[in-house]
Structure 1
Amino acid sequence: MTRSDWSDIRGRLARLAATPGSDAVFGAGDHGWELEPPLTAAEVTEVQEQLRVELPAEYLSFLREAGRGGAGPAYGLFPMRRRDGRWQWEGDGADLTTLAALGRPFAHVEAFNPADGLPPEPEEGDYDSEEAFTAAQDAHWERYEKVVYTSENSVGLLYLCHLGCALREALVVSGPARGQMWADDIAEGGGFRPLYDDDGTPLGFARWYRRWLEAAERQAAPG
């Protein structure tokens, strides 16, 4: 993944904001086609020193040249903010990023579901009483949540946007899939999966962002 040129982005977003049909694009009412200011070189240095990790080049160049968050896929890119001297991402699901674990490798290169291999949900007919069935259900869901919702599944992932219904997409910061975009479908009973372009190549941050922008332009185009 290489550094990208983002010099066209703000102009394209401004044209979209001025296009009457752009309000029909999903999520536009939340981000309003606006990007927050870019990070300065000093801020980028501070961010990476605090996180103890080097962010993938395409995303890093976006932060420095385009903006630190705002207009983007779905409800927009989670913005970076400094709170009490510490940098973090903010938004619905941004807290799924374990900042202290971004430098730990995300070990996967293929889709996986943490729930695979767990026993099926109990069925009431298999139990002699409602109390026994309820106890079995409680035990099942306690185990499910412990296995599926642990932050260990997402070490090395930087969550960047919320698609709605608790579905989110993230950038792999560390590990063999570094620089690639992945989907977190846990909320719908799925797992984690890499995102691909139309030709089957893995989506990096730049292509992921530009695919969204191109689709928004097509949708908002007059006629």
Structure 2
Amino acid sequence: MGDQLWGGVRERVEALSGVVVPTQALRYPVLSRRFRLDPVLSPADVAELEERIGVELPQEYRTFLLQVGAGGAGPGWGIYTAQLRPGYPLWSGHNADTADYSRLAEPFPAAPLEPAVLRALLAQCPQEGDDRDLAHLDALGRWNEAVWGPDRTVGAIPLCSLGSAREQWLVLSGPERGGIWTDERADHGDLAPVPDGSGGTVTFARWYLDWLGSAEQQLSNISRE
């Protein structure tokens, strides 16, 4: 499956890095990161990575690491790089170390907080200009425990930064295995699945290939301006 899924993808990304665009076009988000991919991982590298995290990677992401790259060009500010450098995190990039590698085999809790619960928690938190009395600080503690508790992201790894501490995660374990979730908690939102348009969650391959198709289209439009 991997050969058919990822055939020619690395070449498509590398072709974008050679597109010359006018300076004024740099305002486009698609150009905020160079179209460069890291080298691929070897089968031995992937096997060691899986042994260290205690779970097999979802097939689409696994074959991406083997055939396209260990990270680099991709949605947001680019895909965090999988690596096996001694003394370094297993994934590198902005906020890439927010996962608990010791709990990746645990099922991801695929249940966002109820919007009403989220609103009620937020309403009790101190706002700008409020006195930070004990009641406000207690409310802030409840917010952090409910929204940012370590159990919220077990079984998943952050894949990329969307800016302003927002991220997207790949689920490794549980019913949502292979799915992509967006993390809006830094904007007083929550974790939520990226919908696939048919009631399910977008998986890694579609997530990446949709981004690549959009990037190619945007660059084509820019080059004609």
For normalisation by structure 2, the TM-score amounts to: 0.85
Q: Deviations over 1:105-129 (max 9, x none)?
A: 0131x543596363732689xxxxx
Counterpart check, 1:151 vs 2:140: no
Counterpart check, 1:193 vs 2:165: no
- The aligned residue for residue 160 of structure 2 is 161
> Which secondary structure does the structure 2 equivalent of 1:107 belong to?
coil
> Which secondary structure does the structure 1 equivalent of 2:90 belong to?
strand
Q: Say which structure, 1 or 2, has more relative contact order (CA 8 Å, 6+ apart).
A: 1
Q: CA RMSD, aligned part only?
A: 2.5
User: Which one of the candidate residues 44, 47, 54 is aligned to 1:45?
Assistant: 47
The answer to whether the Cα contact below 8 Å between 2:37 and 2:71 also exists between their aligned partners in 1 is yes
- The aligned residue for residue 96 of structure 2 is 94
The answer to whether the Cα contact below 8 Å between 1:20 and 1:220 also exists between their aligned partners in 2 is no
The answer to whether the Cα contact below 8 Å between 1:113 and 1:190 also exists between their aligned partners in 2 is no
Unaligned runs of 5+ in 2: none
- The aligned residue for residue 9 of structure 1 is 9
Deviation at 1:201, TM superposition (A): 4.1
Q: Which moved more, 1:79-88 or 1:61-70?
A: 79-88
User: Which one of the candidate residues 113, 121, 141 is aligned to 2:124?
Assistant: 121
Take 1:18 and 1:119, find their aligned partners in 2: how far apart are those partners?
46
> Which secondary structure does the structure 2 equivalent of 1:48 belong to?
helix
Take 2:201 and 2:147, find their aligned partners in 1: how far apart are those partners?
25
Q: Percent identity?
A: 33
Is the alpha carbon distance of 1:119 and 1:8 closer, same or farther for their aligned partners in structure 2, counting shifts above 3 Å?
Answer: closer
Q: Which moved more, 1:49-58 or 1:193-202?
A: 193-202
- Figure out how many residues of one structure are paired with residues of the other and give that number: 214
Is the alpha carbon distance of 1:95 and 1:86 closer, same or farther for their aligned partners in structure 2, counting shifts above 3 Å?
Answer: closer
For normalisation by structure 1, the TM-score amounts to: 0.85
Unaligned runs of 5+ in 1: 125-129
The code of the aligned residue for 2:47 comes to: T
